[in-house]
Amino acid sequence: MKDRLRKLCSRSLLMIPIMAYSLIVYGAIQVSINFEHAWVDEDWKLTDGEATFHLNKFKDQWTHFTEKPVISSSDQSVVGKSLKFRINGTTDHSYSSQRTEYIMKRSIAFDQWRYVGFQFALGNNSQPPVSWTVLTQFHQLPQPFTASPMAALLLDVGMAFQLSFKIRNTSYYYVERKNGPGGNALEVWNKSIGKNRWYDIIIGFRPDGSEGNNKGRVKIWFDGDLELDWSGDLGMPDSFLGETWMQQYDLKTGIYRATQNSSLSFHIDNYRLGSSYDEVML
C-alpha cells in the first residue's frame, strides 16, 4: 500500500490518489483516513468508519461565505476521493474570520513526538491570500482562555502561493485579546507551491512540557525530503498574563483565515497521524 515512488512525484488533480483504503486505527497510528468511504452529514460532521470528526466551533458561527466540506470526486478522471474545503471571498466584514476546519485529534500531550502527514492540493479556482490563512494548527489548550496556536502551517500573503510554517514565540502571541510585546510569528520554513497539483507533507512536532522549559522541536518532510529539523522557543505562555496553561494541544486541519476577498479551495487526502515518521510515511 505504500508507493514510495509515487509519493515523490507531484500530481495533477486529475491523477489517481495514492492509497486505496480507508481506516481508523487505535494504537500507534491514531488516525489513517483516505476518504474513500467517508461522508459529511447535514451538521458538517465528518465520519469515516468508527470515527467522527467535528468542526472547530459551531457550524452556524462559521458559515460566513464558507461552504460545507464535501467528499470530492467531481473530476471524472479521479478514481479516488478527497476532502474538499471551500471558502469564498467577500468584502462583508461583519465577521472578522472565516473557518472550516476539523479537529483531527484532541488533547495530545506534550513531551512526545507526533507526526501528521497528508496529501494536499489547491483547487484551480483558488486565489492567493490577502491576509493570514491557516491550513493546519497545533493549538495549545488554554481553556477557558483563548490564544494563538503554538505552531501552524499557513499560506502566506502575496501574489503567488507560498506555504510556510510558523511558531509562536516570546515576542509574538495573542492571549485573551491581548498581543505580545511585538514582532511577528517566527517563520522556520517556507515553500513555493502551485494550484491543481498534489503535494505530500509530514510534520513532526514535539513541545517540551518540563517546568520552566519553553522549547520545542519541529521536523518537516515535503514530497519525501527532510527540509526542516528545528529546535527552539515555542513561546509557552505559562507566564503570559499570569495564567496557567494546559500541557496539551488539539490538531486541526482545514481553512481558518481572516475574512478576505479571495476564494480558496483546499483538498486533502490520505490523512494520517502517528508517533513516528515510519508510521505515517507512504
DSSP states of 104-129 as a string?
EEEEEESSS-EEEEEEEEE-TT----
For residues 28 and 7, give the distance between their C-alpha atoms in angstroms, rounded to a whole number.
Answer: 22
- What's domain 4-280's architecture? Sandwich (2.60)
Is residue 249 within 8 A of residue 207, CB to CB? The reply is: yes
Q: What are phi and psi for residue 175, nearest 5 degrees?
A: -130, 125
Amino acid present at 252? K
What is the three-state SS of 82-99?
EEEEEECCCCCCCCCEEE
Q: Which three cell numbers stand for residue 52?
A: 467522527
Task: Please give the DSSP secondary-structure letter assigned to residue 156.
Answer: P
Task: Break the chain into its structural domains and give their ranges.
Answer: 4-280
Residue 270 Ramachandran class (φ > 0 left, ψ -120 to 50 alpha, else beta): left
Instruction: Give SS3 for 61.
Output: helix
Is residue 29 within 8 A of residue 19, CB to CB? The reply is: no
Residue 256: alpha-carbon gap to chain centroid: 9
Reference 43, options 68, 22, 15; nearest CA is: 68
For residues 128 and 74, give the distance between their C-alpha atoms in angstroms, rounded to a whole number.
Answer: 23
Give the DSSP H or E segment for 5.
helix 4-7
For residues 169 and 265, give the distance between their C-alpha atoms in angstroms, rounded to a whole number.
Answer: 30
Share in percent of the chain as helix, strand, coil (round to 5) = 5, 50, 45
Taking only the tens of pLDDT, the chain with its 282 residues reads 334 333 333 444 433 333 333 344 444 678 999 999 999 999 899 999 878 999 887 666 566 788 999 998 755 334 589 999 999 999 988 888 899 999 999 999 999 999 999 999 999 999 999 999 999 999 987 656 667 788 999 999 999 999 999 998 766 666 666 666 666 788 999 999 999 999 999 999 999 877 666 789 999 999 999 999 999 888 765 555 555 667 889 999 999 999 999 999 999 999 999 999 999 998
Q: Which three cell numbers stand for residue 148?
A: 494563538
Measured at the CA of 22, the angle between CA 78 and CA 113, to 5 degrees, comes to 115
For residues 82 and 36, give the distance between their C-alpha atoms in angstroms, rounded to a whole number.
Answer: 8
Q: What is the pTM of this model?
A: 0.86
